[in-house]
């Protein structure tokens, strides 16, 4: 099988190059003022970021992408709508599966990321005939966390940097897989959602499968709740999902604290608009588009 390695050099640096790029002008001004030395610092930060991005994008030019319509018969950006009945039946099946096969999360993040990357790489290789190998490094902080307080993680599409902002329990394998899909060149959110889910659900690893099913259940509930936190929690309590798992769902859509309440709505609107400008449907791709696609391809098989 053909093998392609993307260096992802930025992911091995102690500080994300994107953070260096954002903070260099401030640091240079404080340390050196308006002097040539300050301009050198800023140029160096830009060089690190641009250089690492250019190396990865040059290597990724030979990457083979999954052809969704050829493989699944459906465009993930325009799947047929699922009915409320379809969603409720899917929720019941997911809860039954999760309750019967509960797995505690005890794997350290570094080891988990390596395992997730292995399964994702193998899954994509089966679909494309090319083994696309990328870094399995995960950061715990990027400045994007301050800009998007509602996000669980982030990926820099240019350098391949990935950060997971908090412990996300049973959802962590899927969050990592989603961000690793961006690292491998799938920049549209619904594509990352779908590929991450299918890779984990078919992995044969009970912990990874559980994470995929939890992600799907969470997104189905969020759609049925019309993205209302109180209604979501009400629906969740009605599912009968076992306590060990249900407690892990509560952080997905929490009551926002002061900073997130002030910044979150504006940034969600901006991010939704950015997604639409890049040919996506907006934030609904994370949940409605994702679950519509999964139900549609399952009806075809």
Cα angle value 299/77/158 (rounded, 5°): 130
Share the mean pLDDT of the chain.
89
Mean pLDDT value of segment 284-297: 96
Contact status, residue 146 vs residue 85, Cβ threshold 8 Å: no
Rounded Cα distance, 45 and 258, in Å: 33
CA dihedral sign, ordered 218, 223, 225, 230: positive
Phi-psi region of 108 (alpha: psi -120 to 50; beta: other; left: phi over 0): beta
Are 3 and 130 in contact by the 8 Å Cβ rule? The answer is: yes
Least confident segment among 115-124, 145-154, 177-186, 291-300? 145-154
Q: Would you say residue 30 has pLDDT above 70?
A: no
Cα gap 212→257, rounded to integer Å: 28
d(CA 183, CA 176): 10
| pLDDT value at 240 more than 80 | yes
259 pLDDT band, cuts 50/70/90, is very low
Does residue 145 surpass a pLDDT of 90? no
- Based on the number of CB atoms within 10 Å of its own CB, is 261 exposed (0-12), middle (13-18) or buried (19 or more)? exposed
Contact 185, 63 (CB under 8 A): yes
Q: What local confidence, expressed as pLDDT, does residue 130 receive?
A: 97
Among 25-34, 157-166, 167-176, which is the least confidently predicted range?
25-34
pLDDT-based confidence at residue 253 (cuts at 50, 70, 90) = confident
What the block records as the tokens of 1 is 């099988």
pTM (predicted TM-score): 0.92
User: What angle do the packed helices 172-183 and 109-128 form, to 10 degrees?
Assistant: 50
Residue pLDDT, tens place only, 88-100 = 999 999 999 999 9
Whether the pLDDT of residue 87 is over 70: the answer is yes
> Quick one: average pLDDT of 223-227?
95
CB 210 within 8 A of CB 102: yes
Q: How far is it, in rounded angstroms, from Cα 132 to Cα 140?
A: 24
């Amino acid at each position: 099988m053909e093998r392609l390695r993307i260096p992802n050099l930025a992911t091995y640096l102690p500080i994300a190059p994107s953070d260096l790029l954002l903070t260099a002008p401030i640091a240079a001004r404080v340390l050196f003022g308006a002097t040539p030395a300050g301009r050198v610092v800023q140029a160096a930060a830009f060089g690190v970021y641009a250089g690492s991005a250019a190396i990865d994008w040059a290597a990724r030019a030979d990457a083979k992408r999954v052809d969704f319509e050829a493989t699944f018969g459906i465009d993930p950006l325009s799947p047929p709508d699922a009915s409320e009945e379809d969603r409720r039946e899917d929720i019941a099946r997911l809860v039954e599966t999760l309750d019967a096969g509960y797995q505690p999360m005890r794997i350290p993040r570094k080891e988990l990321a390596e395992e997730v990357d292995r399964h994702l790489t193998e899954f994509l290789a089966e679909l494309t005939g090319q083994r696309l190998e990328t870094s399995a490094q995960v950061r715990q902080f990027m400045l994007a966390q301050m800009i998007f307080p509602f996000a669980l993680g982030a990926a820099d599409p240019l350098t391949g940097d990935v950060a997971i902002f908090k412990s996300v329990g049973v959802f962590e394998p899927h969050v990592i897989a989603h961000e690793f899909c961006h690292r491998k060149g799938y920049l549209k959110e619904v594509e990352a959602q779908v590929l991450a889910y299918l890779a984990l659900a078919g992995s044969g690893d009970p912990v990874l499968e559980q994470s995929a099913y939890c992600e799907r259940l969470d997104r189905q509930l969020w759609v049925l709740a019309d993205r209302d936190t109180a209604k979501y929690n009400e629906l969740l309590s009605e599912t009968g999902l076992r306590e060990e798992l249900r407690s892990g769902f509560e952080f997905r859509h929490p009551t926002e604290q002061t900073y997130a309440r002030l910044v979150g709505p504006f940034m969600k609107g901006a991010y939704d608009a950015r997604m639409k400008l890049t040919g996506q449907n907006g934030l609904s791709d994370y949940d409605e588009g994702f679950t519509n696609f999964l139900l549609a391809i399952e009806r075809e098989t």
